[in-house]
Amino acid sequence: MKDVLLIADLHGQFGKIDSFLELNPEAVFIAGDITNMGPVDAVDDVLSRIDVPCFAVPGNCDPREILETLENSDAVCLHGSQINLGKISIAGIGGSNPTPFGTPFEMTDKQIDDGLNAAMKKMEKTVHNILLTHAPPFETLDKINGEHVGSASIRKHMKAFDLVCCAHVHEQRGVLDIDGVKIVNPGPAMDGLCALIHFGTEAKDIKIELLTV
């Protein structure tokens, strides 16, 4: 698996899915906010259109019942879980730390920490170690109106990974490198924004393209 499509923040607008898949990824990561406060009925149909392996976490705007929908879909739900794919290992945590808006899938930083710890205990370190999360790490692609709104727990665990795929803050699309860890927010997929991640054969050989379809 060398070329992976990263999308997030669809917010129930699925019209660009086929255009994203025309980028010919070998797998797809979805970093949450698949719906806009629900409903979850259309999610299974959308995921079934993705004809390559798909790994997803929910976002804070997804209702809690999306976990069951993801578990029963063709995608792999990585909320508080992990998977080993040979040279790539992925851990995931969905939802977000608290927001001012009382969205459906919010957690305390302690709950995020517990979920990450559970996933990381089972995670086998490989060439490329990835964290798929909806909320960004604190002080990392997380500014809204000059305030940092990311998760302190995700920031605490960030150094255990080579790549953090996050979303949540639509205006913070970008790629950062902090102490050898790459962080990417692909921007909202509802606007046709995405990232294509290219994994090389060596550790830390990860290239990221921010694309628009």
pLDDT tens digits along 8-41: 999 999 999 999 999 999 999 999 999 999 999 9
Domains in the chain, CATH or no CATH each: 3-212 (3.60.21.10)
Using DSSP, state whether 180 is helix, strand or coil. coil
Residue identified by tokens 């060398």 is 2
Other Cβ atoms less than 10 A from the Cβ of 13: the count is 15
The mean pLDDT of 142-164, rounded to a whole number, is: 96
The mean pLDDT of 123-131, rounded to a whole number, is: 96
Contact partners, residue 157, CB within 8 Å, separation at least 6: 113, 116, 120, 131
Q: Are the C-beta atoms of 26 and 35 separated by less than 8 Å?
A: no
Q: Are the C-beta atoms of 191 and 12 separated by less than 8 Å?
A: no
Q: Are the C-beta atoms of 83 and 76 separated by less than 8 Å?
A: yes
The mean pLDDT of 116-134, rounded to a whole number, is: 96
| pLDDT value of residue 131 | 98
Q: State yes or no: pLDDT of 125 exceeds 80.
A: yes
* E strand residue ranges, 75-178: 76-77, 81-85, 88-93, 128-133, 143-144, 147-148, 163-165, 174-178
Q: Which residue has the higher pLDDT, 164 or 74?
A: 164
The mean pLDDT of 75-96, rounded to a whole number, is: 97
Residue identified by tokens 């930083």 is 109
**Residue 1's pLDDT band (cuts 50, 70, 90):** confident
| pLDDT value of residue 195 | 98
Q: State yes or no: pLDDT of 79 exceeds 90.
A: yes
pLDDT above 90 covers a percentage of the chain that reads: 97
What mean pLDDT is reported for the chain? 96
Q: State yes or no: pLDDT of 45 exceeds 90.
A: no
DSSP 8-class letter at 179: T
| pLDDT value of residue 155 | 98
Q: Tell me, what amino acid is at 45?
A: D
